[in-house]
Amino acid sequence: MNGFYDMLLFLFILGAATQGFNELGIFDMTAPDPEISAPGEAQVQELQDSAANQGVSEFNFIQIILSFGRVIGMGFMAMFTIIPMAISWMTAVGLNFVLAAALAGILQVPITFVTIFGLYEFWTGRSVT
């Protein structure tokens, strides 16, 4: 039964951390084009000329609450199914969708097995093993 709780905690943290990084926008998923060259001197402008201080918007607090909700929601979703997250990771590294879906399904089988037996042990109050 301890493995059940450990697995759910790990999956919750994994899903929440993944969504947290997505919400912060730290990593960009686009690969650089090899034919892009550095901008010329005429294309570069000073930061002070193009950016103005916008201050704090009244929607920032609402955006923070919505981002927090998406992070917690993704954490709970990862506890029940790892397939969408695994497919997005595998396609990001270059696997095609069919292979990524098959591998994600194989990864989901032991998670589902441990979850079913953990819930059974929790509801009945006795151990299967």
The two structure tokens encoding residue 80? 């029940």
Determine how many CB atoms are found less than 10 A away from the CB of residue 117. Answer: 16
pLDDT at 93: 85
pLDDT at 34: 61
Mean predicted confidence (pLDDT) in 12-31? 75
Per-residue pLDDT tens digits for 91-105: 888 888 999 899 988
At 75, phi and psi to the nearest 5?
Answer: -60, -45
Concatenating the DSSP letter of every residue in 40-67 gives PGGG---HHHH-------TTHHHHHHHH
Q: Is the pLDDT of residue 22 over 60?
A: yes
pTM for the complete prediction?
0.58
Q: Is the pLDDT of residue 128 over 60?
A: yes
Per-residue pLDDT tens digits for 35-52: 666 666 666 655 555 555
